[in-house]
Structure 1
Amino acid sequence: MITVYFATADQPAKPQPVQCATERSLMKAALAGGIDGIAADCGGMMTCGTCHVFVREPFASRLPAPGEDENAMLGYTAEPRRANSRLACQIALDDSLDGLTVDLPRTQY
């Protein structure tokens, strides 16, 4: 088990922890943890962009670069893309991501 943290736009200094198993996506961890702000309308098929997150350092630079499809989908998110924007469905959790913290956009729509 690892712990990942989700910070809302209203309370960025108080990220909500979620304990989760590895070998699943950050999106699935958010849904299982009851995180508001991750809609995941497409269920992780990378067709909606409603699991948009902003990954904090030092983890943003540790993640593999987004693939071509993820890069394209990030162009259609409700909140403008940033340098640290990712789709939570494309972040595969492993032990090296224990402590990962992401900021949620104000809206996914």
Structure 2
Amino acid sequence: MKLSLPTYPDEIVDVFRGLLGGMELYKGLKTLTILSYHGPDETHDLTEIEMELFKQLLFAMDGMDEVEIGNLCFSEESARDMFEFMEAHKMSVSKFKIFEGMECHDFLEI
């Protein structure tokens, strides 16, 4: 399934909350591609609340074969925290393509 966000969100937390609304849908999907409007190149250093919401999304999407979320740029620290979380919970990090131009191993080496 491919989804697009029509506008760039005012706050990244709005994206996460919107995506969490589709949790039941994720159970029946094998692949999911989400593209957002490519607004200003803004790096997101996630707050604790934003990180917690994103972790909930990762759990909800973990049953899929492939997940791609494009046009969201995260700080190195936030990206590293996400990947460490996925590894700690034995999630298949290779199926998640969620960072602008980088793969999980790029952040794990930081």
TM-score (normalised: structure 1) = 0.35
What TM-score comes out, normalization by structure 2 length?
A: 0.35
**Higher relative contact order (CA closer than 8 Å, sequence separation 6+):** 1
